[in-house]
Amino acid sequence: MSSRYRETPWCILGGDRRDGHFARAMLDHGYDVRVCCVPDTDDLPAKVRVDDVNRAVKGISVLVCPVTGTDESGVLRHSTAPVSLTEVLSEANGIDALVIGTARQAIRDAAASKGIEIIESMRDDELAILNSIPSAEGALQIAMEHSDFTIHGSRSAVLGLGRTGLTLASALQGLKSVVTAVARRPQDLARARALGHVAVRFSDLKTVLPQFDLVFNTAPAPVLPKELMKMVKKTAVVIDLASPPGGVDFDAARVAGITAILAPGLPGLVAPRTAGEILAQVIPRLVSSTLEPLQ
Ligand code: NAP
């Protein structure tokens, strides 16, 4: 598909190690990209690396911010220097689109006041499903690093059976863990059974929780509160993949002496090159389908 956004300048502002690879892949695909506050980009041509944020966003048509988004005050969660995205937007001119994982209200308001279209990349199924692969591998890596038993033969639970949960359950099954998938929608429970997992409703989690060696949460809601943390085996490892603040009561885990880890941003940590190439595959399509829907 031809797109005018192949010729107009883009800025990748902030990010983690995946975003340098994203920029490299975009340059390889012929896009006019500059980077600002992105780590591990020293090898990129000097004209591509811009230190000053205002200069970096001047004259661009597309601004791409990290999939990990901003904190409540609008500051990017990942960047080599603190960047207030609300301030950047309030001073921006001529930007057509802001691409970001998910946008908080302050970002929406700032973009709306400048007529900038917001594209939330984490809402896109292609990106979320492709990202679930490095996320699942990262979760397995953390499980191996924090346990003294094999995943093979372990009893594992995956809470939430969306895009990440499904891939993770399948990866655990591939390593011969006995997987229980915990969901609330009947169709998700049916899918779990079809894939050969034990299917359990969230409302029944309490009764099965003591049996698990590994508990992975992917539901972005408080699904493992204090009362349930008490039911988790002392030797278990709990890994929370859901975006901060996650779904696990970490204070309760600490009090109970259970190893519990909040594990955000796994694709950028464990497979930055793959994760960057995924962004370069998906984001241009998102931009052109949003801004040029009839082409
Ligand atoms: P998703 O496809 O929307 O799946 C989320 C799942 O959680 C759904 O099955 C949903 O079930 C369930 N859920 C939501 N609220 C729930 C509640 N109150 N009680 C029980 N279940 C609930 O999302 P995803 O793409 O898999 O991502 C899941 C989370 O992981 C997000 O927070 C995402 O940002 C994060 N993530 C983190 C990493 C990382 O590196 N750590 C990587 C990718 C994604 P229903 O359909 O019943 O609502």
Residue 230: count of CB within 10 angstroms of its CB? 16
C-alpha dihedral over 243, 262, 136, 271, to 10 degrees? 90
Name the CA dihedral angle for 212, 247, 99, 28, rounded to a multiple of 10 degrees: -30
- DSSP H or E stretch at residue 215: strand 214-217
**SS3 call for 103:** coil
Tell me which residues have their CB closer than 6 angstroms to ligand 1.
122, 128, 131, 135, 160-165, 183-185, 188, 202, 218-221, 223, 241-243, 263-267
Please tell me the residue having the least CA distance from ligand 1 atom 4.
Answer: 162
Phi, psi of 99 (to 5 degrees): -105, 125
Whether 151 and 144 have beta carbons less than 8 Å apart is answered as yes
Ligand 1 atom closest to residue 165's alpha carbon, by position in its atom list: 26
| The pLDDT of residue 1 | 53
CB count in 10 Å sphere of residue 43: 8
Q: Give the relative orientation of helices 125-145 and 163-174 as an angle to the nearest 10 degrees.
A: 40
Query: Which residue has the CA at smallest separation from atom 34 of ligand 1?
Result: 243
Q: How far apart are CA 11 and CA 210, in angstroms?
A: 49
Q: Using CA atoms in the order 111, 81, 282, 163, what is the torsion angle rounded to 10 degrees?
A: -90
- What is the pLDDT tens value at each position of the chain, 295 positions in all? 568 888 899 999 999 999 999 999 999 999 999 999 999 999 999 999 999 999 999 999 999 999 999 999 999 999 999 999 999 999 999 999 999 999 999 999 999 999 999 999 999 999 999 999 999 999 999 999 999 999 999 999 999 999 999 999 999 999 999 999 999 999 999 999 999 999 999 999 999 999 999 999 999 999 999 999 999 999 999 999 998 788 999 999 999 999 999 999 999 999 999 999 999 999 999 999 999 876 5
Would you call 102 helix, strand, or coil by DSSP? coil
With a CB cutoff of 8 Å and minimum separation 6, the contacts of 46 are none
User: 224 in helix, strand or coil?
Assistant: strand
Tokens of 165: 């949960």
Chain-centre distance for alpha carbon 27 = 23
For the chain, the helix, strand and coil percentages under 3-state DSSP, each to the nearest 5: 45, 20, 40
CA–centroid distance, 265 to ligand 1, in Å, is: 14
Query: What sign results for the dihedral spanned by CA atoms 56, 57, 63, 67?
Result: positive
182 contact partners, CB below 8 Å, separation of at least 6: 157, 158, 159, 160, 161, 200, 201, 202, 205
pLDDT at position 294: 62
